[in-house]
Amino acid sequence: MKKPFQFRTSTVIKALVILAILVVAPFAVPFTLEFIFVADLVGLEALIALCLMYCKPLLSSLRVKVQVFAEHLVATGRLVCELYMFKPGVYLGHATLSSAVILVASSVVLASAVWLPVMVASTDFITKLGYSS
């Protein structure tokens, strides 16, 4: 018995490519008419090549933005490493004290208050560096 809806592989591929074009077309508004002409006159293969050439500058600018973001992330990490709050002696003492406060008083607010002087000192450090807004 023959299946009622059986598509050939080439038909499925063409449908998927047309669907992909419909997804890309709204983001390429100035070139939508050219996409239709190229698909009609030259074929879908040329249209795919055109879409890939169109996306190349976008991908390179995206790569640059990711690289700048990574550089900012490294700079932020270096700044955080210099804060008083994360020095081993300061951190160990305050972590011990805040843990003891939580055990004795069962208050997270009081345990957070232990960190307040260190946060103020770290803020003073940041404003001396000129990173304040």
Determine the pLDDT at residue 12.
85
The two counts, helices (H) then strands (E), for the chain are 6, 0
Answer whether 111's CB lies under 8 Å from 101's CB: yes
Place of tokens 């592989």: 9
Q: Where are the domains of the chain?
A: 1-69, 83-133
Digitized pLDDT (tens) for each residue of the chain, 133 residues in all: 566 677 788 788 878 877 877 777 777 666 666 776 777 788 777 777 777 787 788 888 889 999 999 999 998 888 877 777 777 777 777 788 888 888 888 877 877 787 777 777 776 666 666 655 5
Angle at 113 between CA 118 and CA 128, to 5 degrees: 25
